[in-house]
Amino acid sequence: MRLMIVGQLEGYISAAGKIALQRGAKVMHCEDIEQALGALRNGKGADVAMVDIKQKIGVFVDSLKNERIHLPVVACGVGTDARSAVKAIQEGAKEYVPLPPDAELIAAVLSAVTQEDNTMIANDAVMQNVIKMADKIAPSEATVLITGESGTGKEVMSRYIHNHSKRKNANFIALNCAAIPENLLESELFGHEKGSFTGATSRRLGKFEEASGGTLLLDEVSEMHPQLQAKLLRAIQEKEITRIGSNDAVRVDVRIIATSNRNLEDSVKKGEFREDLYFRLNVVNIRLPSLRERPNDIAPLSQFFADKYAEANGVAKKLLSEDIIEKLKSYSWRGNIRELENTMHRAILMSMEDRIEPEAVILPESHTWSGSAPVVANRAPNLAGVSSAGAHNVKNPGAVENMIGRTIADVEREMIISTLDHCLGNRTQAANILGISIRTLRNKLNEYKESGIEVPAAVAER
């Protein structure tokens, strides 16, 4: 993790930095927000910024938004009153940390804000084979394409490969191609010069230059527009990029790891993804199994997440009973590890006993798992009550009757919003369940917002 500390902090700056360093972070110190913004524009990226509360935090947060620099901000200060701390949160800081620094508090806050979790649990034989493959190819310079369903841990695997490569001491930069609008993605990748387009108030280096010497993760690369795919292909082949608004080529040295939850071969056949780019990315393919395919990992993963969120919420760690483990193993986990993590987070918050009781583990009753494949017993009424086998195999006729007299648009909207609620706002997971692209889902949600319809807030996706 890369930590940027901004401000003087009355002599506690070295103590806070030392704690972060001991926790494995790379620390950079900037005197004020102007210096911090300059460093970020010039490719000295960070995963989180700890900013002295005496700095203009609101101005800093607004500048980050205006320049589309995605960086969570943690406010910190010495002897700060509650009102100042609340003001910092209102201005956009994610958390507030009092100083002098407490090692455990700083570690917990940094972990929570960045959601960085690189733990790799692989007890199941299926997953152990994947780890062996990753260990073999990690030291090479080969481009890697990681595929698998949404929520299977593709970014965690990407970091695992980076951390076992010759580039482990250099930057690991992740870019979610699905989360950034098409007209801004090129700037995020290649950077831009001042005045090259409306809003380009200063020169900014892109992710290719920021990752130079290290690894660049192109998450959900299948969502990239075909026109930009051509520029990406050239950058990978020539190992050079050109910033928007410039004619000068810049040499870059990056290892590319790409991920996709879609079948890229099908996308190539449909003309949605360039064949030459597919072959360039698919030098080595690592397919991550779904959680259904690695049942022996469900129990240790569940306990890991239970311990993680018990610590994050300041409660005692709780063990899982055999009944709960069997309950978890019988579920289909369409959202895979991400859905399991959300489930255990809720369980910790709802549990009232010394051990997590079955009532605290809330699972939709619509999907149970028997062996190698999920068995759809009954979709929830929000999803129209029709099984995947077709309309003739209706499991909830009452739900179908409730649709009579409603428009398809109304039913579609309810289905999308209900699925998004189920996924706790996770756009990528919801799109995967609905069988649509993240771009289509985003367009639908924008339509709903413009119509005054409230949609679930987005969550950070890793």
For residue 118, the model assigns a pLDDT of 65
What is the tens place of the pLDDT at every residue in 56-69? 999 999 998 888 78
Residues 172, 272 within the same domain: yes
* Residues 238, 240, 241, 245, CA torsion sign: negative
Cα–Cα distance between 278 and 339 in angstroms, integer? Answer: 29
* Per-residue pLDDT band at 278 (split at 50, 70, 90): very high
What is the tens place of the pLDDT at every residue in 416-461? 888 887 777 788 878 877 778 777 888 889 888 888 888 887 755 5
Average pLDDT over residues 313-332: 89
Q: What is the pTM of this model?
A: 0.69
Beta bridge partners of 250: 241
**Do the domain assignments include residue 124?**
no
Residues 137, 268 within the same domain: yes
Cα–Cα distance between 222 and 274 in angstroms, integer? Answer: 10
CATH number, position 274:
3.40.50.300
For residue 386, the model assigns a pLDDT of 35
Cα–Cα distance between 277 and 280 in angstroms, integer? Answer: 5
Of 287, 303, 318, the last residue of a domain is 287
Helix (H, G, I), strand (E, B) or coil at 27: strand
Residue 453 vs residues 45, 343, 405: alpha-carbon distances, Å? 36, 27, 21
Residue corresponding to tokens 């090692």: 103
Residues 238, 281 within the same domain: yes
Residues 78, 143 within the same domain: no
For residue 295, say if its preceding peptide bond is cis, omega within 30 degrees of 0: no
What is the tens place of the pLDDT at every residue in 373-401? 444 333 333 333 333 333 334 334 444 44
* Per-residue pLDDT band at 251 (split at 50, 70, 90): very high
Residues 349, 383 within the same domain: no
Residues 168, 208 within the same domain: yes
CATH number, position 38:
3.40.50.2300
Bigger pLDDT: 406 or 302? 302
Residues 339, 217 within the same domain: no
Domain hosting residue 197, numbered range: 129-287
Cα–Cα distance between 430 and 438 in angstroms, integer? Answer: 8
Q: What is the DSSP letter of 32?
A: S
Type of residue numbered 123: N
**Do the domain assignments include residue 122?**
no
**Do the domain assignments include residue 123?**
no
Residues 156, 228 within the same domain: yes
**Do the domain assignments include residue 229?**
yes
Cα–Cα distance between 1 and 74 in angstroms, integer? Answer: 14
Contact 110, 102 (CB under 8 A): no
Instruction: Indicate the number of domains in the chain.
Output: 4
Helix (H, G, I), strand (E, B) or coil at 13: helix
Cα–Cα distance between 201 and 38 in angstroms, integer? Answer: 12
Residues 360, 384 within the same domain: no
Of 240, 270, 287, the last residue of a domain is 287
Residues 296, 406 within the same domain: no
Residues 361, 460 within the same domain: no
Task: Give the sheet arrangement for strand 284-287, strand by strand.
Answer: 172-176, 215-219, 255-260, 144-147, 284-287
Type of residue numbered 398: G
